[in-house]
Structure 1
Amino acid sequence: MMKTPITVLQELMVKFSESPEYECVAQSGPQHLAVFEYRCAARGHVVSATARSKKEAKQEVARLMLARLAAAGLSVPPPYAAPAAAAPLACDEPSAGAVGTGSRSYKALLKELCQEYNLPGPEYTLEGDTGPAHARRFTARCAVGAHARIASATTKKAAQQLAAQQLYQYLRENLARLTEDFVEEDALARAHERAMERYVEARADAPHRPDLGQCVADYHLEEEQVSLGADALEAASPDAEPETALQAVAGALGLRVEWHSLPAEGGALTLVRLAPSSPPLVFCARTRDAAAAEALTYLRLTMKFKGQK
């Protein structure tokens, strides 16, 4: 009999004298069609998953964590070492380059809830940041009228998401009778549709302009890594496939290349993420080669910018 993902993950973590941390972070939908969201943290990684029962959600999030640990280089027994469906990426709000309608962007849900019931729009403020550069903690405040919540995380966006999640869940619980007809899936779909429209307009009106203010040094790379990355860029053949070149440069920089597919009108979008990095290095395009080319353009310009500083 094959072991469950939870059992396999527990046995794997015992080797490190650690235990995975599970948390049921959300429940949505009517009682007879409830959807549960579980979060799992292990070895510095955090993933989330949803299912129709707590048991299924916990098993699914354990499966995703095993796939994440396998991608990070840990020895995970089959079949759990195979790539799993990627967990949704944290983001400001649904956008063509960040999230699909199946994820839970609580900033988007909170904004939709406020618009639906004529509440003041959410306001976000940065309350502070602490810790060294390689382990920064940001504290964000989310307020809707007189109600507010404060949360901390390793990035500003993640802190805002957590604060928005706490405030959204508080409002839904305390305004249950008034908001019983508010459907989260429909709200996310509306937000995603508007974001797609903005994305298409932005891509049509503006050329690619990487943020040169965020040089590679912002991602806590050693000088030697940056030098190796620059050498890998120079060594890349002009005729090489962008995806192949990106793998070589990312490897030199000590970054992992992650691919995601996002549903969109006119065909799926391809998202490539270079990890680990904070803030995230994420690039989006219609094809893998185009997304890889976007990432290479960014790395080439930012490393050149760093060398001129």
Structure 2
Amino acid sequence: MMKTPITVLQELMVKFSEAPEYECVAQSGPQHLAVFEYRCVARGHVVSATARSKKEAKQEAARLMLARLAAAGLSVPAPYAVPCPPCPPVVGDGDAVAAGSGARSYKALLKELCQEYNLPGPEYTLEGDTGPAHARCFTARGAVGAHARLASATTKKAAQQLAAQQLYHYLRENLARLTEDFVEEDALARAHERAMERYVEARADAPPRPDLAQRVADYHLEEELVELGGDALRAAAPDAQPEAALRAAAAALGLRLEWHALPAEGGELTLARLAPSSPPLVFCARSREAAAAEALAYLRLTMKFRDQKLT
């Protein structure tokens, strides 16, 4: 089992007869989305890290301290010996917001920039991840043609955002003369419109969802079957056996009548099931005739409601 950054740092400091110092220096955001900032001091170095829990922030601070000490020449065990850029806090959807970048999506900006000036489309790959399961650090590679940047963060999406941010600023700075007419607000608006179009298309292709304004009892009934079912119920003689009347109504509605026995205290219970239906229609009674009568009462009530609704 891999040791946590806090454990590794503690063991490393014992060699110097020292102990790392941790302090929670800040808390921001609403209670259900709080972000904590922890500071770690060791061997004269100071680092800070943020996360959505104190435990994760402390682990991240210890990881950053190990990376700092490794860069300073101390012998730090793998995988913490490789310096890793500070990981930003998770502040929402990584595709929409990157820490320190406000509300701008640099992935969207970079994509719009590439499309407008005929550059190769940006590509993102996961280069690696380190740390325990509760404090992972992901490294993503963003590339536009021959230009590439690496960035690390606590989520894959945030790492991609940071890589896109570095590439975007590099291209804007080095192609300033060519991209001076590129307006970020307009580009973000276009990206949003395209995203909404894709969403509408996806919704159009999705199977229809039930109308939640309907009564649950109506979900299994289609309009063209209402009249047939109502006619079958009205055609049943007043003295007809409930089972025969139920069988005729079920056939008119395109439903299958099934009978099942359920063991119960004092004898079996009889279940009458109409299938296929959504939600499932199951009626239970002590006898077959009583179960059929319960099902008929339900159908008559439903048909009466539907007849009133149609008129």
Fold-level similarity (TM above 0.5): no
Larger Rg computed on CA atoms: 2
Report which structure shows greater RCO (CA 8 Å, sep ≥6).
Answer: 1
TM-score normalised to structure 2 length: 0.37
TM-score, normalised to structure 1's length?
A: 0.38
